[in-house]
Amino acid sequence: MKPPSWPRIGSVSYLNALPLTCGLEDRVLLTVPARLAELLRQGDLDVALVSITEALANRDYQVVDGVAIASAGPVRSVLLAHRVPLARIQEVHCDPASLSSVGLLRVLLGERGVRPAFRALADYGQTRSHEAVLLIGDRALDFALDPGGHDIWDLGGAWFEATGLPFVHAAWTLRPGFRDAGLGAVLRRARDEGVARLEELIRVRTDYTLEFRRRYLTENVRFGLGVAEKEGLRRFAGLLGRHGGVEVFEPRFVE
């Protein structure tokens, strides 16, 4: 059952969000994380599956409880491709679609005492020409399949190795002032249906191979926001405040 007044919803088009909008596909705007964050800030969306850094950046945002894109180990779709050792990286070119992954990389490198300059990647065609490039989503998956002369540092795996906690990459976030008592339940039901139908959803997709899609969506990515994920989120918020150079607010969860 839909809410009395259907909200404006935005999500990413990446493979990792596949189960989260099951049954809602014709009601959801699909775009990249940075654009979703912009639309949410402008009030042009009521709820969006935004990068967790964006959700932590505004004290008036609220996060829908129970649903997220998270990982507890290698995530495969958030990576640093580098041609020099991590300790010697001086400059990182960042996927312009990314928000939370830039924050995660700042934290992981900052904890190692490495503080490179961060630049926007102007052209995906130039990816292989840079000494270090941060990639997310399907572009990260594509690059990891053919890394050329770059080493791959999986940021989900690096976070889990450092903390023993899951990392929350994105969550459903409400714009300030928006209230809808039934929306959280709708989004959790969509996730539950997507997870229950995951094998079917995996089979109808055509990107990559069937086995790749199955392993990625069943082993690398998780879709809950429970006790462990919230503890990982709180740990990240604290470290982001230390290394990210931005003000960070404790997440507020709503049913």
Which CATH number characterizes residue 151's domain? 3.40.190.10
pTM as predicted: 0.92
Question: Does residue 238 belong to any structural domain of this protein?
Answer: no
Q: What is the DSSP string of 136-171?
A: EHHHHHHHHHS-TT-EEEEHHHHHHHHHSS-EEEEE
Considering the domain architecture, whether residues 157 and 177 belong to the same structural domain is answered as no
Residues 115, 133, single domain; the answer is yes
Which residues on neighbouring strands pair with residue 48, listed in sequence order? Answer: 10, 173
In tens, the pLDDT along 59-97 reads 999 999 999 999 999 999 999 999 999 999 999 999 987
CA dist 240 to 117, 130, 229, 249, Å? 16, 25, 16, 10
Q: pLDDT-based confidence at 159, cuts 50/70/90?
A: very high
Residue 211: give the domain boundaries: 9-70+166-227
Residue 187, H or E segment: helix 183-196
What digits encode the pLDDT tens for the residues 6-58?
A: 899 999 988 999 999 999 999 999 998 889 999 999 999 999 999 999 999 99
pLDDT band at 162 (very low <50, low <70, confident <90, very high): very high
Tell me what pLDDT residue 3 has.
Answer: 45
Can you give the pLDDT at residue 4?
47
Least-confidence region, from 43-47, 187-191, 205-209: 205-209
Tell me the pLDDT tens digit for each residue of 114-156.
999 999 998 888 889 999 999 998 899 999 999 988 999 999 9
Q: Are residues 85 and 150 in the same domain?
A: yes
Residue 243 lies in a domain: no
Asked if residue 223 and residue 206 are part of one domain, the reply reads yes
Say whether both 84 and 159 belong to one domain.
yes
Task: Report the alpha-carbon distance of residue 226 to residue 213 in Å, rounded.
Answer: 24
The answer as to whether 94 is a domain residue is yes
What confidence tens digit (pLDDT) does each residue in 214-235 have? 999 999 999 999 999 999 999 9
Same domain, 100 and 151: yes
* Pair 61, 83 in one domain: no
Q: Work out how many domains the chain is built from and give that number.
A: 2
Q: Are residues 126 and 14 in the same domain?
A: no
Question: Is the predicted pLDDT of residue 181 greater than 90, yes or no?
Answer: no
Co-location of 157 and 174 in the same domain: no
Residue 255 counted as domain residue: no
